[in-house]
């Protein structure tokens, strides 16, 4: 009985520490891990030093086999050890195979596997690769927008012919969000724009004793340029970003793919009502912004420059003798609304597969929309000047 108790004590002591055994056969090294591989086990450091000594002795061996005993007790320390060992073998270009492993350990090793990086590439190789990828994907930068615009045109023809799946309720709801909901911010920005134009103009016109022409300056600037431009920029940052976020989130949740599965065109069902609503609401908001901007100039003219309200309004009316002054701004706003709607929906429909890509699509929608608005405004002014529509 005493001998048996002594043997049991020795066996329990052996099982309480991590074990590392190896066997050399025909140029191959068979390594067996046993015992308690736990982070709380202090003897683990001794085993690690033992392993380093073994590696130094086995420099000429090219093939290693690693396995565990069935009674091994382990936690993440065993995962880290095997992962580091396999990485060391791969770095030294040695073959290593895994034999028996406890349940769950192979999956943890796969999860903990580091992805290969390209740190060994120099900077010029990375730039060359990026340039190659850009040139290879260059046709898509032009093909995708053209394809999207073509799909929108087809959806418009289906709407005219009465074959569209667009719902009137979606159009009305989008128009409410684009129009009535945007009135507070449009009112504030337009009023401050008219106010600023009046202050800036009065400083210069006072030098010529012609402060009354502040009314002409504010009214013409608002109806020809600033009204449509400020509304376009506001709607690009407010509504265009909203369209990109809504459609991008729907793509992220695979709702757009579900529509295609049911045979419903996402362009007709999602893009068309939003684009049409913005196309219709932007001119109305522009006319409203023109009026509010003129009222901002009126506030400065009456309170700061001591003009009478009637005198200021008569001067404004005399400045707007041609209806083309108003039509030009409304024409610009129609194009601005179309640009914002198409760009916002396009960026949302072509968003990436994760939340980070969605954020980039929303940012890109705002930046591209504002850039296109500025370019379109410059082209309009060039065309109006060439046609002498001034």
Residue-wise DSSP of 1-14: -HHHHHHHHHHHHH
Per the model's pLDDT, the better-predicted residue between 339 and 51 turns out to be 339
Burial class (CB in 10 A: 0-12, 13-18, 19+), 193: buried
Beta bridge partners of 96: 64
Asked whether 84 and 51 are in contact (CB, 8 A), the reply is: no
pLDDT at 130 (0 to 100): 56
Of all helices (H) and strands (E), which one includes residue 125?
helix 123-160
Per the model's pLDDT, the better-predicted residue between 185 and 97 turns out to be 185
C-alpha to C-alpha distance for 164 and 141, rounded to whole angstroms: 28
The CA R_g of the chain, rounded to the nearest whole Å, is 36
Residue carrying structure tokens 């920029």: 233
Check whether 203 has a pLDDT greater than 50: yes
> Averaged over 371-379, what is the pLDDT?
94
pLDDT band at 14 (very low <50, low <70, confident <90, very high): very low
Q: Mean pLDDT lowest for which of 43-52, 86-95, 116-125, 192-201?
A: 116-125
Running DSSP on this structure, what letter comes out for residue 262? T
pLDDT at 135 (0 to 100): 59
Minimal CA–CA distance to 355: which of 238, 270, 245, 258?
A: 245
pLDDT band at 12 (very low <50, low <70, confident <90, very high): very low
DSSP string, 86-124: HHHHHHTT-EEEE----TTHHHHHHHTPPPP--TTS-HH
Q: Mean pLDDT lowest for which of 30-34, 37-41, 118-122, 130-134?
A: 118-122
Half-sphere exposure of 290 (CA within 13 A, CB side): 24
Backbone angles phi, psi at 278, to 5 degrees: -70, -35
The pLDDT tens digits of the residues spanning 28-77 come to: 888 888 888 787 777 777 777 787 777 777 777 878 888 888 888 888 78
Three-state secondary-structure class, residue 25:
strand
C-alpha to C-alpha distance for 256 and 261, rounded to whole angstroms: 9
Q: Which two tokens stand for residue 126?
A: 């990375």
- pTM score above 0.85: no
The pLDDT tens digits of the residues spanning 309-325 come to: 999 899 888 888 888 88
Backbone angles phi, psi at 97, to 5 degrees: -125, 155
Asked whether 283 and 333 are in contact (CB, 8 A), the reply is: yes
Measured in whole angstroms, the distance separating CA 81 from the mean position of its chain's CA atoms is 39
C-alpha to C-alpha distance for 212 and 198, rounded to whole angstroms: 10
Check whether 174 has a pLDDT greater than 70: yes
Beta strands in 222-332 (DSSP E): none
C-alpha to C-alpha distance for 346 and 350, rounded to whole angstroms: 6
Q: Which two tokens stand for residue 362?
A: 């929303």
Q: What are the structural domains, with CATH classification, of the chain?
A: 8-111 (3.30.750.24), 142-386 (no CATH)
């Amino acid at each position: 009985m005493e001998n048996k108790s002594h043997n049991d004590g020795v066996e329990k002591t052996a099982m309480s520490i991590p074990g590392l055994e190896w066997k050399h056969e025909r140029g191959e090294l068979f390594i067996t891990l046993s015992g308690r591989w736990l982070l709380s086990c202090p003897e683990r450091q001794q085993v690690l030093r033992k392993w380093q000594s073994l590696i130094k002795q086995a420099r000429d061996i090219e093939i290693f086999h690693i396995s565990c005993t069935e009674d091994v007790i382990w936690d993440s320390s065993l995962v880290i050890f095997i992962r580091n060992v396999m990485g060391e073998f791969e770095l030294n270009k040695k073959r290593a195979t895994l034999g028996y492993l406890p349940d769950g350990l192979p999956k943890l090793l796969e999860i903990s596997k580091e992805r290969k990086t390209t740190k060994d590439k120099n900077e010029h190789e990375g730039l060359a690769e990026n340039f190659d990828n850009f040139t290879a994907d260059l046709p898509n930068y032009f093909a995708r927008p053209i394809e999207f615009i073509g799909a929108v045109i087809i959806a418009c023809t289906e709407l005219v012919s009465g074959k569209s799946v667009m719902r009137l309720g979606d159009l009305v709801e989008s128009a409410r969000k684009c129009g009535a909901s945007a009135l507070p911010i449009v009112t504030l920005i337009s009023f401050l724009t008219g106010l600023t134009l009046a202050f800036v103009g009065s400083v210069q016109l006072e030098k010529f004793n012609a402060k009354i022409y502040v009314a002409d300056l504010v009214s013409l600037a608002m109806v020809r340029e600033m009204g449509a431009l400020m509304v376009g920029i506001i709607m690009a940052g407010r509504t265009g970003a909203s369209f990109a976020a809504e459609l991008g989130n729907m793509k992220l949740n695979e709702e757009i793919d579900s529509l295609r599965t049911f045979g419903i065109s996402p362009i007709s069902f999602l893009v068309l009502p939003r684009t049409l609503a913005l196309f219709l609401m932007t001119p109305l908001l522009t006319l409203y912004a023109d009026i509010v901007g003129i009222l901002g100039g009126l506030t400065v003219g009456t309170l700061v420059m001591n003009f009478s309200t009637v005198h200021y309004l008569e001067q404004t009316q005399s400045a707007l003798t041609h209806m083309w002054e108003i039509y030009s701004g409304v024409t610009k706003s129609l194009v601005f609304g179309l640009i914002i709607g198409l760009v916002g929906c396009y960026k949302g429909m072509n968003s990436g597969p994760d939340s980070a890509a969605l954020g980039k699509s929303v940012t890109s929608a705002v930046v591209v929309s504002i850039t296109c608005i500025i370019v379109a405004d410059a082209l309009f002014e060039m065309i109006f000047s060439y046609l002498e529509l001034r």
